[in-house]
Structure 1
Amino acid sequence: MLSTFLNFKSLEFILRIAVFMTFLGHGMFAIGGNANWLIYLQTVGFSIETSKSLIVLIGILDVIVALIILLKPHKYIVLWAFVWAFSTAAVRPLAGESIWAFVERGSNWAVPLVLFFLLKIKSEKKLKI
């Protein structure tokens, strides 16, 4: 039982670090106004002017999500991380990039999805870990 507990805690910690790093890194690029990402917002209907403002707000939100997941993850914030990461990966082919741009980012959305299910199991079983 102790071995299972330690493995569960280790897995959760590794996943939390991975999501934190992904969202912190992307957040900092977005706060810097990464011009290469503006096309993705334009692809879903935002003007260039609105995109320039939104990218910074998105970056701030990404950093907040990163910190929450690192410090005290909530399964629904982790679920948001999955939805957001999947959406941002999926928009790339819609913006004219190769399908491989989506495939390459699989771990960006798969890791939060695994963490979500892990936290869901933890809450359902009322595990104190």
Structure 2
Amino acid sequence: MGYTWSEWVTNPEINQSIASTIQVQGILFVVAAIAVLFLEKFPRSSAILVAIGGLQCLLHVCLTTKAHFGQVGQFIEQTLQWVSPFLLLATFVPVVTPKTLDWLMRWAIALTFCGHGLYAIGFYPVPGNFQEMMMAGLSVSNQQALQLLKLAGLLDFLAAGLLLLPFAQWAKWGLYYTIIWGALTAFARVWSYFSLYSFQGLTQQWLPESMSRGVHFLIPLALFYIWKTKKY
């Protein structure tokens, strides 16, 4: 683009353009979120807006993956974060059978937890915030936190494997784990940093982080509800 790195990061016009783009994306996310509430009343227009929101989520995941040096684990760990809008839309599409939706949800959940597991066991460098949350939330040492993360990573893989089995009783155990661990890892971002950050810091950084990861237990919870109502 004709800029050096120094010129790129210090150019006020570029900074303003980036800030404006982020603001537009934020507005689109809010519009897509509101559109979810009107899917039944205005299915066509609302579905388009929700799909745009889903594509926005996919773009965010791709950019996050690029920022992490293209680590595949980063992409698949966030599968539920961009797939969830499309899973919602799939419930309104007659062509998508309940069985197909069931397996789409299973695979999305399994991929998310496999991605988390790759970081937890140390296949990729263990994120510092993973260790910090373990240490702050459980009052353990750094070494103990790493050991607990490895155990959690192995359980992530086990749960993902169980969830993809065609045997109901085994699959349920995998689903139970993803609901519980998904909720704990989502809320841990607020709980663990509660005493370390100001209220403003929590609401600006860690509360949004928790909310964006809510799908890590809400989608498994939705699948649990589907199985329960259908006597799976």
Query: For the superposition of Structure 1 and Structure 2, which TM-score range results when normalised by the shorter chain?
Result: 0.7 to 0.9
Name the counterpart of 1:47. 141
- Whichever residue aligns with residue 66 of structure 1, its letter is A
Q: C-alpha distance in 1, partners of 2:173/2:226?
A: 12
Q: Aligned-residue CA RMSD in angstroms?
A: 1.9
Higher relative contact order, chain-length normalized (CA < 8 Å, sep 6+): 1
Deviation at 1:80, TM superposition (A): 2.2
Name the counterpart of 1:82. 179
Query: Is residue 191 of structure 2 the alignment partner of residue 101 of structure 1?
Result: no
Q: C-alpha distance in 1, partners of 2:154/2:183?
A: 18
Deviates more, 1:90-99 or 1:22-31: 90-99
Identical counterparts, % of pairs: 28
Instruction: Give the secondary structure class of the aligned counterpart of 1:71.
Output: coil
1:14-53 superposed matches below 5 A: 14-32=104-122, 34-36=126-128, 37-44=130-137, 45-53=139-147
- Whichever residue aligns with residue 103 of structure 2, its letter is F
- Whichever residue aligns with residue 75 of structure 1, its letter is K
Unaligned 5+ residue runs, structure 2?
A: 1-93, 194-201
Aligned structure 1 segments of 4 or more residues deviating by more than 4 angstroms: none
In terms of fraction of residues, the more helix-rich structure is 1
Say how many residue pairs are matched: 120
- Whichever residue aligns with residue 120 of structure 1, its letter is K
Deviates more, 1:75-84 or 1:62-71: 75-84
What TM-score comes out, normalization by structure 1 length? 0.83
Contact 1:30 1:58 in 2 (8 A): yes
Q: C-alpha distance in 2, partners of 1:114/1:35?
A: 29
Contact 1:75 1:119 in 2 (8 A): no
Unaligned 5+ residue runs, structure 1?
A: none
Contact 2:162 2:173 in 1 (8 A): no
Deviation at 1:14, TM superposition (A): 0.8
1:49-64 superposed matches below 5 A: 49-64=143-158
